[in-house]
Structure 1
Amino acid sequence: MDLEEAQEKGWSGVLVYHEMFNELRQHEIAVDEKNWLNLMCEMRGDLLIWCPDRQLLYTTNLKCLHSNPERYRVTFQELTCTNTPFGVHRLLPSPSDKHVALIGDDGVNILELQRHRGPCGEFGGGYKTVNCKCTPIDQDYFVARKQADTKIVLHAEWINECQLAMLMSDESIRAYSVFDLNYPMFTIPLEKDRPSLSLRDKFVTFGVLPAPLREEDDVTLLLIKSNGDVHLLSIRQNKEFFPIVYKLSSALPMLPASDDNYEMSVHDVLVLSCTPPVVVISTNDSTCYHCILLPSEDQQQDGAGPECQLLVYDGLQQEKGLELEEQDEGAGLLHQGAELLVDTSCNYQYYIIDGSGIQRITLLWAMNVNRHLQNSNISLKSVFEGSSEVQHLVVTHPLVQDSPMAGQLVCGICCVSSRMLGHVLVAITTEGECITLPLRQPHPPSELHNNDMTPYSHAPSQPSLLEEQVKAELSRSRGVPIISNRDGAKLDLQQCYEMLCESTKNLRDQHMVQQGKAKQLLTKRMESLLRQRRKQEEDLQKFAQQSRAMSQAAHNIKDRVEVLQQKNEKFCNRLRAILCHLEMASPELSEMECNARKELKEMTNKLKRLQNEIKVCTVRLDKSTPGQDLFTLSIPSLASHQLTTVHQLLGDESSRLTNLVKNVKELEKQL
Structure 2
Amino acid sequence: FQTLLCINPPLFEVYQTLLSPTHHHVALIGTKGLMVLELPKRWGKNSEFEGGKSTVNCSTIPVAERFFTSSTSLTLKHAAWYPSDTLEPHIVLLTSDNTVRFYSLKVPQTPVKVIALSDTEEETLTIKKGRAYTASLGETAVAFDFGPPVPVPKNALGQRGREEVLAHPLYILYENGETFLTYVSLLQSTGNLGKLLGPLPMHPAAEDNYGYDACAVLCLPCVPNILVIATESGMLYHCVVLDGEEDDEQSEKSWDPRSDLIPSLYVFECVELELALKLASGDEEEPLESDFSCPIKLHRDPKCPSRYHCTHEAGVHSVGLTWLNKLHEFLKSDEEDKDSLQELGAEQKCFVEHILCTKPLPCRQPAPIRGFWIVSDILGPTMICITNSYECITRPLLSTVHPAFPALLCTKDDQDAAVSPLRILAESEHSFERHIRSILQRSSANPFLLKSANKDAAPPPEECLQLLSRATQVFREEYILKQDLAKEEIQQRVKLLWEQKKKQLEDLNYYREERKSLREMAERLADKYEEAKEKQEDIMNRMKKVLRSFHSQLPVLSDNEKDMRKELQAIHDQLQHLSNAIRQVKMKKEYQQKKMEKGTSPRKPSITLSAYQSKCIQTVLKEEGEHIREMVKQINDIRNHVNF
Q: Compute the TM-score of the two structures, normalised by the length of structure 2.
A: 0.52
CA distance, structure 1, for counterparts of residue 318 and residue 358 of structure 2: 15
Equivalent residue letter for 2:391: E
Are residues 1:90 and 2:16 paired?
A: yes
Q: Which residue of 2 aligns with 1:184?
A: 111
Tell me, yes or no, if structure 1 residue 233 matches structure 2 residue 182: yes
Letter in structure 2 aligned against 1:389: F
Structure 1 residues not aligned, in runs of 5+: 1-75, 325-331, 457-671
Please point out which of 77, 98, 101 is paired with 2:2: 77
Which position in structure 1 is the counterpart of 2:219?
271
- Residue aligned with 2:305, SS: coil
Q: Which structure has the bigger radius of gyration? A: 2
Q: 1:288 to 1:427 in 2, by over 3 A?
A: same
Cα deviation, 1:27-54, whole Å, max 9, x if unaligned, reads: xxxxxxxxxxxxxxxxxxxxxxxxxxxx
Report the counterpart of residue 368 of structure 1 in structure 2.
Answer: 326
**Could you tell me which residue of structure 2 aligns to residue 160 of structure 1?**
84
The Cα shift of 1:371 comes to 4.6
Which residue number in structure 1 is paired with residue 385 of structure 2? 427
Q: Which of 428, 437, 440 in structure 1 is aligned with 2:395?
A: 437
* 1:390 is aligned to 2:352: yes
The AA in structure 2 aligned to 1:201 is E
Residue pair 1:154, 1:167 contacting (<8 A) in 2 also:
yes
Contact 1:236 1:244 in 2 (8 A): no
Structure 2 residue aligned with 1:224:
173
Using a 3 Å threshold, how does the CA distance of structure 1 residues 260 and 373 change in structure 2: closer, same or farther? closer
Quick one: structure 1 residues 213 and 206, their matched pair in 2 at CA, closer, same or farther if it must change by over 3 Å? farther
C-alpha spacing 1:416/1:229, structure 2 compared with 1 (3 Å): closer
CA contact (8 A) 2:171 2:181 kept: yes
One-letter amino acid matched to 1:438:
P
Q: Please, which of 239, 243, 246 is the counterpart of residue 291 of structure 1? A: 239
> Equivalents in 1 of 2:190, 2:356: separation in Å?
49
Equivalent residues of 2:314, 2:358 under 8 A apart: yes
Are the equivalent residues in 1 in contact too, given 2:35–2:60 (CA < 8 A)?
yes
Corresponding residue of 1:120: 46
SS in 2 for 1:201: coil
How many angstroms does 1:181 deviate by? 1.1
Cα shift at 1:322: 4.8
Please report how far the alpha carbon of residue 131 of structure 1 lies from its aligned counterpart in structure 2 after TM superposition: 1.2
Q: Is the 8 A contact 2:112 2:190 kept in 1?
A: no
- Structure 2 residue runs without a partner (length 5+): 124-132, 153-163, 280-289, 408-439, 448-644
Moved more, 250-259 or 100-109: 250-259
Name the stretch that deviates more: 160-169 or 437-446. 437-446
CA distance in 2, matches of 1:311, 1:351: 21
Deviations 1:353-388 (A, max 9, x none): 2333211111122232135457899x9876751102
Deviation of 1:453 after TM superposition, in Å, equals: 3.2
Change (3 A) 1:236 1:169: same
For 1:182 and 1:431, the matched residues in 2 are separated by: 32
Q: 1:367 to 1:400 in 2, by over 3 A?
A: farther
* TM-fit CA distance, 1:400: 10
Contact 1:416/1:422 (<8 A) preserved? no
Cα drift, residue 285 of structure 1: 1.5
1:205 to 140, 143, 165: 143
Tell me what 1:310 maps to: 265
- Equivalent pair of 1:237/1:244 in contact (CA under 8 Å): no
Measured against aligned partners, the alpha-carbon deviations of 1:45-79 in whole angstroms (never above 9, x if no partner) come to xxxxxxxxxxxxxxxxxxxxxxxxxxxxxxx2221
Residue 132 (str. 1) matches residue 58 (str. 2): yes
What amino acid maps onto 1:202 in structure 2?
T
Structure 1 partner of 2:98? 171
How far apart, in 1, do the equivalents of 2:25 and 2:225 lie?
28
Matched, 1:335 2:259: no
Q: Distance in 2 between matches of 1:394 and 1:269?
A: 21
Q: Taking structure 1 as reference, are residues 159 and 144 closer, same or farther at Cα in structure 2, changes over 3 Å only?
A: farther
The one-letter code of the counterpart of 2:353 is Q
Partner Cα distance (1:290, 1:398) in 2: 27
Deviation at 1:304, TM superposition (A): 3.4
- SS of 1:80 mapped into structure 2: strand
Question: For the residues of structure 2 that align with 1:233 and 1:224, how far apart are their CA atoms?
Answer: 12
Offset of residue 189 of structure 1: 1.5
Q: Taking structure 1 as reference, are residues 171 and 306 closer, same or farther at Cα in structure 2, changes over 3 Å only?
A: farther
Local SS of the residue matching 1:257: coil
CA distance in 1, matches of 2:38, 2:379: 25
CA distance in 2, matches of 1:429, 1:198: 33
Q: Which amino acid aligns with 1:218?
A: A
TM-score, normalised with respect to structure 1: 0.50
Distance 2:231 2:5 in 1: 37
Counterpart amino acid of 1:390? Answer: V
CA contact (8 A) 2:301 2:308 kept: yes
Q: Once the 2 structures are TM-superposed, how far is the Cα of residue 167 of structure 1 from its aligned partner?
A: 0.8
Name the counterpart of 2:303.
Answer: 345
Q: Does the 8 A contact of 1:107 with 1:153 survive in 2? A: no
